[in-house]
Amino acid sequence: MSVDFNALAQQFCSFYYDQFDKDRSQLGNLYSSQIQGARNIIEKLVALGFNKVAHRISTLDAQPASENGDVLVMVTGELLIDEEQNSQRYSQVFHLIPDAGSYYVLNDIFRLNYA
Amino acid sequence: MSVDFNALAQQFCSFYYDQFDKDRSQLGNLYSSQIQGARNIIEKLVALGFNKVAHRISTLDAQPASENGDVLVMVTGELLIDEEQNSQRYSQVFHLIPDAGSYYVLNDIFRLNYA
């Protein structure tokens, strides 16, 4: 595989957080509908108790995660929620699977890092 | 697969951090020697500039990561290094691959979370 997994990871995260911060109800087609149900994931995201959110990436690391072109991405960063002045730190992992020239999200683990 | 991936992830992390905090030079056989070289990884771990370290897990999340029994684990926690009184927060991801009744670490991504 000659895919540049670092570039892919950066593109993905840029797109993902941009879309999340603008309209997270549109993220559904990034998730595999076969696994846990993209619909449930999006319902969960939309139900989050804030109106406005901005993600700032602090670190982004990517590694090839199989011989099939899977890519593992770990992000740490900050969230600014609604009118809050203080950001909240978070960590997130995406497991991206190649599929017909694109990628879908097989795993997504998100945690706020409380001090 | 009827593996309890949550229990596996907890067992793995408990073993891993216990071994790391006692003698990190012995972690080599957890890594696949085929991939990036377990030896390089251990040289890196041993060369870390501290003598004493203690990991405290704050959150641990596990998900199945393939149909073959792969498990993805994200940990956030705190590190106490040498005689430091203030802990440092970290995030870490392990990608575990089943192999002959056990598991090896295919991916390991570690970051300190600076405030």
Average pLDDT across chain A, whole number: 85
Is the predicted pLDDT of residue B34 greater than 60, yes or no? no
Q: Average model confidence (pLDDT) for chain B?
A: 85
| Chain B residues within 8 A of A86 when measuring between CB atoms | none
- A106 close contact with B: CB closer than 8 A: yes
A32 touches chain B (CB under 8 A): no
Domain segments of chain A: what residues? 5-112
- Rounded to a whole number of angstroms, the distance from the CA of A26 to the nearest CA of chain B is 24
Task: Using CB atoms, pick whichever of A74, A106, A114 lies closest to residue B91.
Answer: A74
Can you give the pLDDT at residue B37? 65
ipTM entry: 0.82
A5-112 CATH fold:
Nuclear Transport Factor 2; Chain: A, (3.10.450)
Q: Which chain A residues are within 8 Å of B107, Cβ to Cβ?
A: 63, 65, 72
A 10 A CB-CB count for A8 gives 17
Gap between the Cα atoms of A103 and A109, Å rounded: 17
- 3-state secondary structure (DSSP) of residue B113: coil
Residue-level pLDDT at B20: 84
Of A61, A66, A113, the CB nearest to B113: A113
**pLDDT reported for residue A76:** 94
List pLDDT tens digits, range A61-109. 999 899 888 999 999 999 998 888 889 999 999 999 988 888 888 999 9
Are the CB atoms for A96 and A71 separated by under 8 Å? yes
| A107: helix, strand or coil | strand
At residue A1, the pLDDT reads 47
From A36's Cα to the closest Cα of chain B, the distance in A is 11
pLDDT of B1: 47
How many angstroms separate the CA atoms of A25 and B42, rounded?
Answer: 43
Give me the pLDDT at residue A16, please: 86
* Model pLDDT, residue A94: 93
Residue of A nearest to B95 (CA): A65
B100 or A3, which is more confident? B100
CB-closest option in B61, B65, B107 to A111:
B61
pLDDT band at B6 (very low <50, low <70, confident <90, very high): confident
Query: How many Å is the Cα radius of gyration of chain A?
Result: 14
3-class SS letters over B23-90: HHHHHHHHECCCCCCHHHHHHHHHCCCCCCEEEEEEEEEEEECCCCCCEEEEEEEEEEECCCCCCEEE
Q: What is the pLDDT of residue B41?
A: 75
Which amino acid, residue B114?
A: Y
* Residue found under tokens 């099939």: A68
Condensed to tens digits (0 to 9), the pLDDT of residues B44-83 reads 787 888 888 899 999 999 998 998 889 999 999 999 988 8
